[in-house]
Amino acid sequence: MRINLTSVFVDDQEVAKRFYTEVLGFLLKHDIPMGEDRWLTVVSPERPDGTELVLEPSGHPAVQPYKTALVQDGIPATAFAVDDVQAEYERLRGLGVRFTQEPADMGPVTVAVFDDTCGNLIQIMQGDMA
């Protein structure tokens, strides 16, 4: 058994596609029409054959209350590993990305949290556990 997919619920798949590729720098892997929505996945350019992130539509009525409650308390939907949190923070800030948590040392890791403009907070982390 392998973990080959993970997902985040995005408010708008088109906005998500642009943010996750143009701003975060991931590569588009699949964009397949599926009725009203799409099977939309991206991968890291560092691991193009690695785990795919599914940008999942938020249409189910349970999704919005779940996302709203997490965002209000500052809880990230998922986390990505980076080599240098501070450098990535500055790069993303330069592109207009909103951070709810600036880089902070949390024991074995350095972390920061930003808004993906699709209704989620995302944590970036650097260190032993990332």
Near other proteins by CB under 8 A: residue from 6, 68, 78, 86? 68
x-or-dash string of contact with other proteins, 3-42, rule CB under 8 A: ----------------------------------------
Q: What minimum distance in Å lies between the beta carbon of 11 and other proteins?
A: 11
Say how many CA atoms lie within 13 Å of 98 toward its Cβ: 10
Q: Is 128 in the site for other proteins (CB under 8 A)?
A: no
CA 48 to chain centre: 16
Count CB atoms within 10 A of the CB of residue 51: 13
**Which residue, 53 or 125, has its beta carbon nearer to other proteins?**
125
The widest CA-to-CA distance across the chain, in whole angstroms, is 46
x-or-dash string of contact with other proteins, 86-105, rule CB under 8 A: --------------xxx-x-
Cβ neighbors of 5 (< 8 A, separation 6 or more) are 41, 51, 52, 53, 54
| Encoded amino acid at 8, one letter | V
Q: Contact residues for other proteins (CB under 8 A)?
A: 68, 71-76, 100-102, 104, 106-107, 111, 113
